[in-house]
Structure 1
Amino acid sequence: MARANGPRPAAGLLLVDKPQGITSHDVVARVRRGFGTRKVGHAGTLDPMATGLLLIGIEGATRLLTFLVGLDKTYTATIRLGVSTDSDDADGTVTATASADGVTDAAISAGIAALTGDILQVPSTVSAIKVDGKRAYDLARAGESVELKSRPVTVSRFDVLDTRRGDGVIDLDVVVDCTSGTYIRALARDLGAALGVGGHLTALRRSAIGPFLVSDAVALTDGIGAAPVLTPARVATDVLGALTVTEQEATDLRHGKKLAGAAERVASLPVAAIAPDGSLIGVLERRGADLKSAMNMPEEQP
C-alpha cells in the first residue's frame, strides 16, 4: 500500500470493537486503509460471528503483539442447550437436537463446574488450528476428517448470568475468564454433551484482553484512521511493567549493549525499558546478572 504524501502514522496499539459478520483480517484491512500503512497486525482473532475487542498494532507497535497474544481473556456468551451444530456455533449446520426440558439448574451447575479450572480441551473442528500445515476449518469444509488433540487451558471463571427456558432449549448467558487459546465454542459443545442434549454458541463477545477493555475500544467506522492509539510505552508498561533507564543506558541498549548488574532492579522479566523522555526503548530479558534488549523499538521518524 502506497502511503500518501504526509507524515508516517504514529506507532501504537488501536483497540477496536469488532462488529459481527466480518473477519479479523477484514478489520486489519480497514485499519491499513484508514492509517495509510501496511504495517498493521492483530493479537488474537475473533470468529466472524463474534464481536468485541481486537488489539491492532500499527507501525513499530506490531513488534509488541507477540507479548499480547498470550494474555488472559474475558468473554460474555450465550450457550444454547438442546441443539448441536457442526461448527459448535450458530454459523454452522444443525447436526442434532434433543429436548433440554429435563435439564435441571443443578445439573447445569455441575456441568459448568467440571469445565472450570485447569482442563483439557479439544478445540472445535472448524478452527484456525493447523493440521499438517493446513487450517482445520479448510480441511473440515473440504469434507476431510479432522482429529484435533486436546490441550491444557485454564477457565478461571465460568458463571451463569441468566437462564431462559422454552421450546425445548435452554439459553444460558455466561461470562468466562480464561487463558489464551481457550475455545468458548468448545465449552458450549462440551457442556451440552455432558448434559446429554448437545449445545452450541449463539453469541460471543470479547470484553477484555489482559488489561485492555472493550469499553475503551473504538468502532470500526470510515474515520478509523483518526482514532487515538495507545503509545508503545504505555502498552509495554501495562503488560510487562517498566524500568526507567538513563540516557546513557538507553543509548547502550539501542547499540545492543547489556545493562551490567541491572537484573536486581526489576521484580520480573521481561520488562519494558523506558527512556527519560517516556519513549519505549525495547523489551529487556535476563543475561545472567545483566539485562539485554530482546526487542528494540525503531526510533520514531518524522
Structure 2
Amino acid sequence: MSEIFGARRRRPLDRLDQRIACALQVDGRASWRFIAEVLGESERTVTRRGTKLVADRAVAIAARPRARSNTIVGAHCELGQSRIVARAFAQRGDSFLVHILTGTPECVVLLDCPRERLGELVFEELPGVRGLINTFTQPVLRQTHTISRWRPDVLNDDEVRALVGDRRDESDGDGPAATTRDKADDLLLQALGADGRRSVDELSRLTGLSDTTVRRRVERMRRDGDLVIRAIVEPALLGLPVEAVVWVTAKPTEVESVARELGRSPFARYVSVVVGDRQIIAIVAMPSEAVLYEFVTRSSWLGNVHSVDTAIILETYKRGGALTVTGN
C-alpha cells in the first residue's frame, strides 16, 4: 500500500470508537449494520463513527495476498542514520513492519522473502542500504500469533465469535502457499489493495466481473487464506501507547509452548518462532511501561524461559504493509 495511515495525535479513541476499530480488526469487510448488531449499538451511530474512522485514516483497511515466507531483519545503523534506514525499508514493496528501537538493533523489519531469495537479500540488497553497518536475518519458522489475529481486550469472546462466523481466522504466511491466482483474482486483489472495504458493486465496476463472481471469488480467497484483509490501527489509539519488541530464548522442547502462551496475551500483537539464538520474537503493545515491566518479569510464560531481551519501539514507519505518518 502506498497510502498513508495513522493519526498524529496520541490521545486514545473513546470506548465506542475503539470497539468499532476492533470489530474491523476481526472482519474488515463486515457491514456497519452487522457490526452495530454485534456491538448492541444503533446502526446510524456505528455507520457515522466507523465511516469517520476510515475517512480520517485512524483505521486503514488493508487487503493483500498472504505472505509466502517471512523473514525478520535486524539492522545495526550508523550513528544518526536510523531514520534513513527505516525509510529505505519502508519503501520496499515486500516490507510489512518497520520499527526504530531503543538499543541494538536500531531497526527491526518484517519482510516477505521466499527462501530462494534469501541469499540475494543478504548478499546483494541489504549491503546497498545507506546507513547500515550490519544486519542479522531470522527466517520465520512458524508464526504462532499474527497481527491479523490480534484481539485487544476490547471485545468479549462472544462478540469476536459472532464477527468471525464460519470464516476461518485469516493468517499471514502460516500454512501452505497460496493457490495459483488467475487474472480475475489479480484484478480483485489490486482493487482491494487500495481499499479493503470496497463494495461488491464497486469491485464489479472496477474489474468488469459480475457481482456474483466478485462475491464468490472474494469469499473463496478469504476462506482459503489467500486474501488477508486487515484493519490497521495505531495501538496508542486503543489506549496502548507503549510498544516493544521482545526476543525470548527458551529450552528447545519448550519453544512451542512458550510461543503459544505468549500469543494468548491481549498485549501480544505478533509472535513467531525464528532461526537464531533467540528463538522467539514478539511485538507487544502495553498501556504503560509498568505493565511492560510486569509482562517481562512476572508472566506465567517465563517459567520455561532462559532469557528475555526487550527494546521499546520509538517510531513506526510501516505497519501491516501500510506507510505511517511517521514513515511518510
TM-score tier (shorter):
under 0.3
TM-score under structure 2 normalisation?
Answer: 0.24
Query: Rg larger in 1 or in 2?
Result: 1
